[in-house]
Amino acid sequence: MAENSKDVGSASKQSLVFTYGTLKRGFYNHALMQDLISRNDAVYLGGDFLTHHTFPLVCGPHGIPYLINLPGSGHRVKGELYSVTGPGLARLDDLEGTAIGHYERLPVRVVRDRGDVVSAEAYFAHRSFGEALWERNGRVGLSEYSEAEGRRYVKRRDRPDEGGSILDDVRVFVAASDGK
């Protein structure tokens, strides 16, 4: 499916969203981005983008990637940039669990491969557990969520149903000390 930059209706406000994990092309949740593109609720802006500052990027429970809002730690993180309408942003917020405190959408500056600095937004691990995830991962992060990490991702439908929420899974993961 071609994902070239096409015009999106100018009637609604656009937001730039930096994706670094499962929403990227080739990863499981990119199907949502493809749907948004097909409905003219998103446009892939092409090119390679890196965060302007360094941030921790780690994998948590179920191989879920988390960007952590600790600028100056970690690496400059590689990702993709999309222009997204308000309705598209609402669907992304729903996927990312912003209403339940799973992720929070925060400003981030990213640099295009040709050097342009762009202000966008990204989904960061919620502040209630982000730093603990960084500590749990030994303060070692990734510069890119790659195919290797993507293979460890467990789809929602394939996760054990133990009656808890994703936030419960995060708490258990953070509390574990076995390093796995």
Tracing tokens 């360094």 back to the chain, one arrives at: 54
Give CA–CA dist 5/78, Å, rounded: 20
3 assigned to some structural domain: no
pLDDT tens digits for range 1-33: 344 444 434 445 899 999 999 999 999 999 999
d(CA 68, CA 124): 5
Residue 53 structural domain: 14-175
pLDDT at 180 over 60: no
Residue 96 resides in a domain: yes
Residue 138 lies in a domain: yes
Per-residue pLDDT, 177:
64
> Which pLDDT score, from 0 to 100, does residue 8 have?
39
Apex 17 CA angle, 25 and 94, nearest 5: 85
- Tokens 């195919």 identify what position? 147
Number of domains comprising the chain = 1
pLDDT in tens, 74-132: 999 999 999 999 999 999 999 999 999 999 999 999 999 888 999 999 999 999 999 99
Average pLDDT of span 130-139: 95
Of 3, 96, 104, 144, catalytic: 96
On whether the CB atoms of residues 76 and 143 are closer than 8 A, the answer is yes
CATH of the domain at 98: 3.10.490.10
| 54: pLDDT strictly greater than 80 | yes
Q: Based on C-alpha coordinates, what's the Rg of the chain?
A: 16
28, 135, 154 from 106: Cα distances, Å: 23, 21, 25
pTM: 0.89
In a domain, 57, yes or no: yes
In a domain, 9, yes or no: no
Three-class HEC string of the chain: CCCCCCCCCCCCCEEEEEECCCCCCCCCCHHHHHHHHHCCCEEECCCCEEECCCECEEECHHHCEEECCCCCCCECCEEEEEEEEHHHHHHHHHHHCHHHCCEEEEEEEEEECCCCEEEEEEEEECCCCHHHHHHHCCCCCCCCCCHHHHHHCCCHHHCCCCCCCHHHHHHHHHHCCCCC
147 assigned to active site: no
134 assigned to some structural domain? yes
Residue 7 placed within a domain? no
Residue 5 lies in a domain: no
